[in-house]
């Protein structure tokens, strides 16, 4: 009979718990709070059967649009044919991790705000834009010795080993 295409088909390894991490899941997952607008990663925890997303969403990152008693509503982009649809799914908190995708941005925002405030106190105008890495500066090559490499003349007797 042909292979089925059920909800959890082809998820034998995807939803499996990692080696030596089976059993109770650490309590931090239950203690985290999520607010609307946070970015979260979806990573299915095979030990918890309720509130599992479809395997497509495993490894996707989306933003929170709803918070309910035990689950989070996440908005994920999915390409369907020639367009990208914004899909809204509800996932239990065990299958969700806070995403670090905008952590660097948030930290940079805080640091820039501080820099701007300090510059304003001094009365200067500064630019906090990131600059791309420019070309490397020039340098003199030091301590180089010249070694001339010339081809050696072809020696028939030596090169034909045992085949002559």
Partner 1 sequence: AFIKAQKAKPYFKRFQVKYKRRREGKTDYRARIRLINQDKNKYNTPKYRFVVRFSNKDIVAQITSASIAGDMVLAAAYSHELPRYGLEVGLTNYAAAYCTGLLLARRVLKMLEMDEEYQGNLESLGEDYSVEPADSRRPFRALLDVGLVRTTTGNRVFGALKGALDGGLDIPHSDKRFAGFSKDNKQLDAEVHRKYIFGGHVASYMRTLMEDEPEKYQSHFSEYIKRGIGPDNLEEVYKKIHAAILADPTAKKTEKEPPKQHKRFNLKKLTYDERKTKLIERLNALNSAASVDEDGDEDDE
CA–CA gap between residue 56 and residue 63 (Å, rounded): 16
- CA nearest neighbour of 56 among 76, 82, 84: 76
By C-beta, is 28 or 79 nearer to partner 1?
28
Among 15, 34, 39, 65, binds partner 1 (CB under 8 A): 34
CA proximity to 61, closest of 45, 79, 77: 77
Q: How far is the CB of 21 from partner 1 (least distance, A)?
A: 7
- Phi, psi angle pair for 93, to nearest 5°: -65, -20
Q: Does 23 bind partner 1 (CB under 8 A)?
A: yes
Q: Identify whether the C-beta of residue 41 lies closer than 8 Å to the C-beta of residue 104.
A: no
Helices (H), ranges, 11-102: 28-31
Q: Cβ contacts of residue 149 below 8 Å, gap of 6+?
A: none
Name the minimum Å distance from CB 161 to partner 1: 43
> Segment near partner 1 (CB under 8 A), from 20-28, 75-83, 105-113, 114-122?
20-28
Does the footprint of partner 1 cover residue 145 (CB under 8 A)? no
Tell me 152's DSSP state: P
Applying CB under 8 A, does 31 fall inside the site for partner 1?
A: yes
Identify which range of 18-26, 117-125, 129-137, 147-155 contacts partner 1 by CB under 8 A. Answer: 18-26
| Residues binding partner 1: number (CB under 8 A) | 20
Which residue's CB is nearer to partner 1, number 20 or number 122?
20
Which residue is listed with tokens 């607010």? 35
Q: Interface with partner 1 includes 129 (CB under 8 A)?
A: no
- Draw the binding track, 52-81, toward partner 1 (x: CB under 8 A; -: no contact): ---------------xxxxxx---------
* 106 alpha carbon, distance to own chain's centre: 16
Which positions lie near partner 1, rule CB under 8 A? 20-24, 27-28, 30-35, 67-72, 93
């Amino acid at each position: 009979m042909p292979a089925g295409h059920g909800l959890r088909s082809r998820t034998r390894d995807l939803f499996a718990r990692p080696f030596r991490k089976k059993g109770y899941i650490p309590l931090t997952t239950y203690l985290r709070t999520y607010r609307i607008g946070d970015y979260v990663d979806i990573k299915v925890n095979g030990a918890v059967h309720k509130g599992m997303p479809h395997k497509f969403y495993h490894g996707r990152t989306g933003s929170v649009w709803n918070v309910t008693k035990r689950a989070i509503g996440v908005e994920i982009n999915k390409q369907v044919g020639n367009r990208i649809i914004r899909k809204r799914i509800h996932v239990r908190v065990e299958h969700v991790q806070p995403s670090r995708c905008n952590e660097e941005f948030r930290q940079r925002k805080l640091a820039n705000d501080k820099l701007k405030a300090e510059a304003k106190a001094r009365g200067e105008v500064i630019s906090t834009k990131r600059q791309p890495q420019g070309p490397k500066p020039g340098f003199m090559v030091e301590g180089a010795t010249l070694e001339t490499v010339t081809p050696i003349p072809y020696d028939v007797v030596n090169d034909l080993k045992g085949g002559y």
